[in-house]
Amino acid sequence: MIKVGIVGGTGYTGVELLRLLAQHPQAEVAVITSRSEAGVAVADMYPNLRGHYDGLAFSVPDSKALAACDVVFFATPHGVAHALAGELLAAGTKVIDLSADFRLQDAVEWGKWYGQPHGAPELLKDAVYGLPEVNREKIRTARLIAVPGCYPTATQLGLLPLLEAGLADPSRLIADCKSGVSGAGRGAAVGSLFCESGESMKAYAVKGHRHLPEISQGLRQAAGQDIGLTFVPHLTPMIRGIHATLYATVADTSVDLQALFEKRYADEPFVDVMPAGSHPETRSVRGANVCRIAVHRPQGGDLVVVLSVIDNLVKGASGQAVQNLNILFGLDERMGLSHAGLLP
């Protein structure tokens, strides 16, 4: 059994991680931390987990207890993993970070977007960006894995085939993305209140969202050159889900885009390229570690529209973290993640 520690288990990604690991046959959660909820039983805080984690309670973070684990997940706000990751890595413990702390390879760029100096720039050389569809082989031998964000996962998976094939104009990319309210986290905030977000939809952070440099970093690597990306996120009145509508122009309109996407993801267990003409729905991936994609070329022109949907808490966070765990420890990549989405 893989002995698992979780730092920061009281947020939405933390409880989702617990839910997924509860059905994982090779993982055992031994330590889960929360300074504010120390001593509280996991099942008391999350009744949905009753019968799965009897006897497990939140505790104050202790580096020795965490270092005794085979792997530690950080389901924490940005900046927290900076302080503990180095100590755990030195002890031989693997680290899978769900926060943004190690996603960007440029420490100065990270500081610009997150409003504070990077706390562990010396670890960036060891960090592997945990998008399995791109970095699977690097993940297998990683010490430190940076789990991609939700918007970046949906956007990159949707645009990668076009950029890798050199078809899309890399200077004219648009990502029009919608997120459920759980993407804002569990902390109390006026904008996340039901009366504020229900029956409404709005764009935000049009000037610049923290996920922009992460998306740009991945797309730049795929294209092999600088890219121009306009990224506009929106808040929608649903709990879970990311819907990314992606636009790119192509010079060669003779390429069979459906075949291109199907070939690119033929061996990917968690990317579903839908039949031509499809319109994937966020509800089809709710609770599942799946990205569903459809590719269109309206009126047969040079504008390509890619539709990409994920559950922001699963393939966009905790499910992708478990997928990385499986790859890291040489397990079947689908272990603990093969369940279908929830309908209705």
Interval 42-90: pLDDT, tens? 999 999 999 999 999 999 999 999 999 999 999 999 999 999 999 999 9
pLDDT at 20: 98
Residue 171's CB is within 10 A of a number of other CB atoms, namely 12
CA 276 – CA 258 distance, rounded (Å): 7
How much is the pLDDT for 109? 97
Asked if residue 225 and residue 303 are part of one domain, the reply reads yes
- Read off the CATH number of the domain in which 294 is found: 3.30.360.10
Mean pLDDT over the full length of the chain? 96
Q: Evaluate whether residue 25 is within a structural domain.
A: yes
Q: Is there a single domain that holds both residue 170 and residue 233?
A: yes
What 8-state DSSP symbol labels residue 340?
Answer: P
Q: How high is the pLDDT of residue 167?
A: 97
pLDDT in tens, 141-166: 999 999 999 999 999 999 999 999 99
Task: Mark whether 199 and 105 lie in a shared domain.
Answer: no
**Mapped to the 3 state alphabet, what secondary structure does 138-201 carry?**
HHHCCCEEECCCHHHHHHHHHHHHHHHCCCECCCCEEEEEEECHHHHCCCCCHHHCHHHHCCCC
Predicted pLDDT at 193: 85
Dihedral angle computed from the Cα positions of residues 190, 49, 27 and 68, in that order, rounded to the nearest 10 degrees? 70
Q: Is residue 254 a part of any domain in this protein?
A: yes
Is a pLDDT exceeding 80 seen at residue 188? no
**137 belongs to a structural domain:** no
Q: Is residue 145 in a domain?
A: no
Residue 117: DSSP 8-state: -
The answer to whether residues 83 and 163 belong to one domain is: no
Instruction: Verify that 72 and 207 share a domain, yes or no.
Output: no
Q: What angle do CA 344, 183, 72 make, to 5 degrees?
A: 105
pLDDT of residue 185: 81
Please give the average per-residue pLDDT across 318-326, as a whole number. Answer: 98
Tokens of residue 56, six digits: 């497990």
pLDDT for the residue numbered 133: 98
Helix axes 107-114, 211-223, angle to 10 degrees: 150
Say which residue, 190 or 292, is predicted with more confidence. 292
Neighbours of 186 (CB within 10 A): 13
Whether residue 210 has pLDDT greater than 90: yes
Looking at the structure, tell me whether residues 306 and 172 fall in a common domain: yes
Instruction: Please give the tally of structural domains in the chain.
Output: 2
Whether 53 is in a domain gets the answer yes
Pair (63, 113) in one structural domain: yes
- With bands split at pLDDT 50, 70 and 90, how would you rate the model's confidence at 192? confident
In tens, the pLDDT along 251-304 reads 999 999 999 999 999 999 999 999 999 999 999 999 999 999 999 999 999 999
Assigned domain for 321 exists: no
Q: Among all residues, which ones are annotated catalytic?
A: 150
pLDDT for residue 190: 87
Say how far apart CA 18 and CA 53 lie, in whole Å. Answer: 9
Element (H, E) at 76: none
**pLDDT of amino acid 264:** 98
Pair (100, 197) in one structural domain: no
205 & 303 share domain: yes
43 and 164 both lie in a single domain:
no
What string of DSSP letters covers 245-304?
EEEEEBS-TTS-HHHHHHHHTTT-TTEEEPPTT----GGGGTTSS-EEEEEE-GGGSSEE
Q: Say what the pLDDT of residue 291 is.
A: 98
Residue 12 has pLDDT above 80, yes or no: yes
Does some domain include residue 325? no
Domain that holds residue 47: 2-129
Close Cβ partners of 167 (under 8 Å, ≥ 6 residues apart): 248, 250, 251, 252, 255, 260
pLDDT of residue 187: 78
Domain with residue 28: its CATH number is 3.40.50.720
172 and 282 in one domain? yes
Residues 257 and 206 in one domain: yes
Is cis: bond before 275, omega within 30 of 0? no
What is the model's pLDDT at position 189?
83
Q: What pLDDT score was predicted for residue 132?
A: 98
The answer to whether residue 274 sits within a structural domain is yes
Percent of the chain whose pLDDT exceeds 90: 92
